[in-house]
A and B are shown apart, each in its own frame.
Chain A
Amino acid sequence: MDFFVQLFTDPVAFWNSHTLLIAQIGINSIIASSMFIVLFSGQLSLAAPGFMAIGAYTAVLMDLYWHTPLALNIAAGVVLAGATGVLVGLPVLRLRGVFLAIATIGFIEALRLGVILNLPITGEGLGLKNVNPDPLGGIYLVLVSLAVVLFLVWRLTKGRLGAAWAAIRQDELAALSQGINVARYKMIAFVLSAVLAGFGGALESHLQTFIDPGDQQYGVTRAVQVLSFAVLGGSGQFLGPVVGALVVTSLPWIFLQAQNYINVVTGLFLIAVIVFRPQGIVGRGGLAIIRPWWWPHRNVRAPSPG
């Protein structure tokens, strides 16, 4: 419990000793927002790690070969991830629920095992060395980006687009009969999520000295982790996945004493939350206890893609 003691008694020391953790939470929150957008529009897509890989490799390779500035590298990663999102979205968005999930798993693993591990330029299985990493200083960039991303996602879900997504999520047929262009809005959500994931991946690569093409980073394990952010936090509102990312990412640090058994702890936690609070931590009634009385409250239902 040293984690909480330090957090509350000495926040400055906490910040200094946990900078990497906080940066990772920021990155994971951006990825979780990407997951949130697809879930909010009723699509169970697990493609985020694939787009992250595209963003990360693009940014690092640009830096490596053309020595371009960081902003341009990240922008290129984002654009390429978005473009891939369009290409992948066109065929797979006809699928629903668990079929979409499996198709996107096929995409990320085909990309990782088939392309990244076989191209000489991506360093094959050995990974890629990042020549200009900034593990500690990058945290400000991450936190500012996170704030911007969260604001954008919040505005989007409140606007026309968000209303269309919510309608599609609740009943696709009814949305279609109301004149909502379902295919278009689904595509917008998918590409937007690809863009956010690409951005998160590019940012993450900036913090790391080494781009590892492993399963934990860009494979199914990561996809499952990102899904668990959204499901644990609650995918009914934009803060849910962020809270999920916060909790899941800091679990290993909170239970530092039980380091060896951290996966047992995580597993128990996943099961407990999903069994006792299927709507997620921030779902219906979740934050009611800490919500001030003047805060506008609305019943937000947990979406049920799949």
Chain B
Amino acid sequence: MDQQILNAIFIGSIYALFAVGYTLVFGVLDILNLAHSAVFMLGAAVTYSLVVNHGQAFWLACIVGVVVSGVMGLVIEHVCLRPLRRRKAPPIAALISTIGLALIIVAAIEQGQTGSFFAWLWVDGPNSVAFPAGTFPNPTWHVGDLTLEAAKVAIIPISIVLMLVLGYVIRYTQVGRGLRAVAENPRAAQLMGLDVDRMISLTLVISSALGGLAGILFGAALGDINPYIGRDNVEVRGLAVIVLGGMGSVPGAVVGGYLLGFIEVGALVALGSSARGGVAFAALFLMLVLRPQGLFGAQLRERI
């Protein structure tokens, strides 16, 4: 039982870290960035590829993975979002353009085979791979009847510290004030002399870097990296998390992430593994029907 609680906290940390970036973009731009799960996968894939195919050190690969994810955020902004903002397209349009980019990223990794065009990026095609043992120290401790794997346990403090830092930046710094101003009213923020486009780019970079890092941690701890980890594990669960916590609320995403972790592990224990996925979405559906603003969201503004 204790082991299950630990699993819930561990998977909850990944969900939370992923969803924080998701919700940040929604909070600032009011759009869903559906390429976020592709960035999650890209971070893990780049890190793996650097370690295994290019022989780099793990810590260096992690840094590069996070940086590549952050740059991907800039790509999302410049290719998928900014041209649409210029044309005042409805938010639904951004849904489609980010999906388009996600398709491209996933297909590029999927087609990465030895000798192919994307071989420098990835050589394992659609196969599932894991970091070879010894890439990073991963001692396992036994405390009572608990099994503690260092790679899994480490995720918990890493995500909590990162989310605290993000919370501090948003709440207490000049940049955070700018972000909140843009989220509140982009036009007023622009009139007050804020560079709205730069703030939005920054949001996308932070969000995608966190998403990529979540992917790296997921890949390192679960030993499962393939082109579909984003789509299969976090794409729709991320939605569930930000809905549970309240769309656009960063603390809400953190709480929602852990909540979903506990809901899923609870369902796993009580109903068996096949019910795990369904329960998450049933929770999402019920939450939206009963309390659309989520646990932490303010009263919903009129959104037509």
Q: Number of A-B pairs whose CB atoms are under 8 Å?
A: 163
**Cβ B89 vs Cβ A107 within 8 A:** no
Q: Does B158 contact A (CB under 8 A)?
A: no
Q: Which residue of A lies closest to B113 (CB)?
A: A260
- Residue B96 contacts which of A101, A215, A232 (CB distance < 8 angstroms)? A232
Q: Is the interface of B mostly helix, strand, loop or mixed?
A: helix
Shortest C-beta distance, B222 to chain A (Å), equals 20
**Cβ A102 vs Cβ B284 within 8 A:** yes
Q: Does B155 contact A (CB under 8 A)?
A: no
Q: Which residue of B lies closest to A173 (CB)?
A: B304
Q: Which residues of B contact A109 (CB under 8 A)?
A: 236, 277-278, 280-281
Q: Interface centre among A42, A96, A115, by most B CB within 10 Å?
A: A96
Q: Which residues of A contact B278 (CB under 8 A)?
A: 109-110, 112-115, 117-118
- Residue B100 contacts which of A44, A215, A268 (CB distance < 8 angstroms)? A268
Known contacts A92-B289, A231-B92; is A274 also within 8 Å of B275 by CB?
A: no
Q: Which residues of A contact B89 (CB under 8 A)?
A: 274, 278
Q: Which of A16-24, A285-293, A298-306 contacts B (4 or more CB under 8 A)?
A: A298-306
Q: Interface centre among A118, A269, A275, by most B CB within 10 Å?
A: A275
Shortest C-beta distance, B291 to chain A (Å), equals 11
Q: Does B120 contact A (CB under 8 A)?
A: no
**Cβ A102 vs Cβ B96 within 8 A:** no
Shortest C-beta distance, A160 to chain B (Å), equals 22
Contact flags B77-118 to A (C-beta < 8 A → 1, else 0): 001100110010111110111011111101110110000000
**Cβ B93 vs Cβ A231 within 8 A:** yes
**Cβ A269 vs Cβ B100 within 8 A:** yes
Q: Which of A74-82, A127-135, A199-207, A220-228 contacts B (4 or more CB under 8 A)?
A: A220-228
Q: Which residues of A contact B102 (CB under 8 A)?
A: 267
- Residue A114 contacts which of B32, B90, B243, B279 (CB distance < 8 angstroms)? B279
Q: Which residue of A lies closest to B228 (CB)?
A: A215
Residues of B within 8 A of A (CB): 30-32, 34, 79-80, 83-84, 87, 89-93, 95-97, 99-104, 106-108, 110-111, 231, 235-236, 239-240, 243, 247, 274-275, 277-282, 284-285, 288-289, 292, 300, 303-304
Query: What are the 6 A-B residue pairs with the smallest beta carbon separation, nearest first?
Result: A114-B278, A270-B100, A263-B107, A304-B90, A106-B285, A113-B277
Q: Please, could you name 29 A-B residue pairs with CB atoms under 8 Å apart, sorted by A? A: A91-B289, A92-B285, A94-B292, A95-B288, A96-B303, A99-B288, A99-B300, A101-B32, A102-B239, A105-B239, A109-B278, A113-B281, A114-B275, A114-B281, A117-B277, A232-B96, A260-B111, A262-B107, A263-B110, A267-B102, A267-B103, A267-B104, A267-B107, A270-B99, A274-B84, A274-B93, A278-B90, A304-B92, A306-B92
Known: A92-B288, A98-B32, A268-B104; 13 extra A-B contacts, CB below 8 A, are A94-B292, A98-B91, A102-B243, A106-B243, A106-B281, A110-B278, A114-B275, A228-B99, A232-B96, A261-B107, A271-B80, A271-B97, A306-B90
